[in-house]
């Protein structure tokens, strides 16, 4: 199967990190050989579940794609639920790492626009196909697997927190008004992002995603702090020459 995500996940070491956290049946750390096998299984599962979905991906599919034996597969993942847990963890680690890089210095509207451009351009590579790696898991698992739902909700809260932190920096630096609710604005941006992913996936075109994010950013702009000269104008302190020139 064509690898869709592994270049990104391997770059940050997230695949290895998830695999290394696993322990053998007796509680001991995995051997190097065991870790490599587990990585291979997880790599195949991530790709297949992203393209085919969780429901349509069987353990036999993963075994065949990873080139592992049945005993190897069941040693690392005795059931599908266990495999899904690691797929969620890996997808979340990749998404959060990428957005941490995009948002860690966010403190301006131009920064918000750069974030928008980055996520839209990345999604445009596939013309919106397959949707958000984490959101697509949520749509399948939220009503079926309570443990997975809670894990995904926690990851989304962390993701939204990255946006909120950037908006708080914008407040602290005077870009946004003091009455701007950074948490609510972050939720609005996240809702636009996830809705944009879904519409782009359906249309096979990222235009709806860009429109949704543009409208969400426009809402944030409604809380822009007035420029110093606007403050002066509002107070009636308009230079005489400027007043005559209006």
221 in the same domain as 110? yes
Dump pLDDT digits (tens) for 150-200: 999 999 999 999 999 999 999 999 999 999 999 999 999 999 999 999 999
Range of the structural domain that residue 40 is part of: 6-79
126 in the same domain as 53? no
63 in the same domain as 141? no
Strand partners, 23: 29
User: Is residue 167 in some structural domain?
Assistant: yes
User: Is residue 180 in some structural domain?
Assistant: yes
Q: Say whether pLDDT at 2 is over 70.
A: no
For residue 226, give the DSSP letter.
P
210 in the same domain as 108? yes
175 in the same domain as 137? yes
Do you know the residue count of the chain? 246
User: Is residue 238 in some structural domain?
Assistant: no
158 in the same domain as 68? no
116 in the same domain as 209? yes
| Both structure tokens of 242 | 């400027």
SS3 224: strand
24 backbone φψ class: left, alpha, beta (φ>0; ψ -120 to 50): beta
113 in the same domain as 56? no
Dump pLDDT digits (tens) for 205-219: 999 999 999 999 999
Nearest by Cα to 87 from 29, 129, 145, 148: 148
186 in the same domain as 144? yes
Residue pair 216/187 in contact by the 8 Å Cβ criterion = no
Nearest by Cα to 91 from 3, 193, 147, 9: 9
SS3 142: coil
pTM of the predicted structure, to 2 decimals = 0.83
| Both structure tokens of 189 | 């941006």
User: Is residue 234 in some structural domain?
Assistant: no
Q: What is the pLDDT of residue 16?
A: 61
Q: Say whether pLDDT at 97 is over 60.
A: yes
182 backbone φψ class: left, alpha, beta (φ>0; ψ -120 to 50): alpha
SS3 176: strand
Domain count for the chain, please give it. 2
What's the rounded Cα separation, in Å, for the pair 65 and 83? 14
177 in the same domain as 72? no
CATH classification at residue 59 = 1.10.10.60
39 in the same domain as 144? no
User: Is residue 179 in some structural domain?
Assistant: yes
Nearest by Cα to 108 from 166, 189, 185: 166
Strand partners, 29: 23
């Amino acid at each position: 199967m064509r690898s869709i995500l592994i270049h990104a996940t391997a770059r940050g070491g997230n695949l290895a990190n998830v695999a290394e956290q696993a322990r053998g049946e007796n509680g001991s750390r995995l051997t190097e050989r065991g870790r490599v096998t587990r990585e291979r299984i997880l790599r195949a599962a991530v790709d297949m579940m992203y393209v085919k979905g969780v429901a349509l991906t069987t353990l036999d599919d993963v075994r065949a794609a990873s080139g592992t034996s049945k005993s190897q597969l069941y040693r690392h993942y005795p059931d599908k639920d266990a495999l899904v847990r690691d797929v969620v963890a890996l997808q979340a680690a990749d998404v959060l790492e990428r957005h941490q890089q995009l948002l860690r210095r966010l403190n301006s509207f131009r920064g918000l626009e750069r974030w928008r451009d980055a996520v839209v351009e990345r999604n445009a590579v596939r013309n919106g196909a397959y949707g958000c790696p984490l959101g697509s898991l949520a749509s399948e698992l939220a009503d079926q697997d309570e443990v997975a739902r809670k894990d995904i909700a926690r990851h989304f809260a962390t993701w939204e927190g990255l946006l909120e932190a950037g908006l708080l920096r914008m407040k602290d630096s005077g870009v946004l008004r003091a009455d701007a609710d950074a948490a609510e604005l972050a939720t609005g941006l996240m809702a636009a992002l996830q809705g944009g992913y879904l519409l782009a996936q359906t249309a096979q075109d990222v235009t709806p995603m860009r429109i949704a994010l543009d409208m969400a950013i426009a809402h944030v702009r409604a809380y822009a702090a007035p420029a110093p000269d606007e403050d002066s104008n509002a107070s009636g302190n308009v230079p005489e020459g400027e007043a005559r020139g209006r």
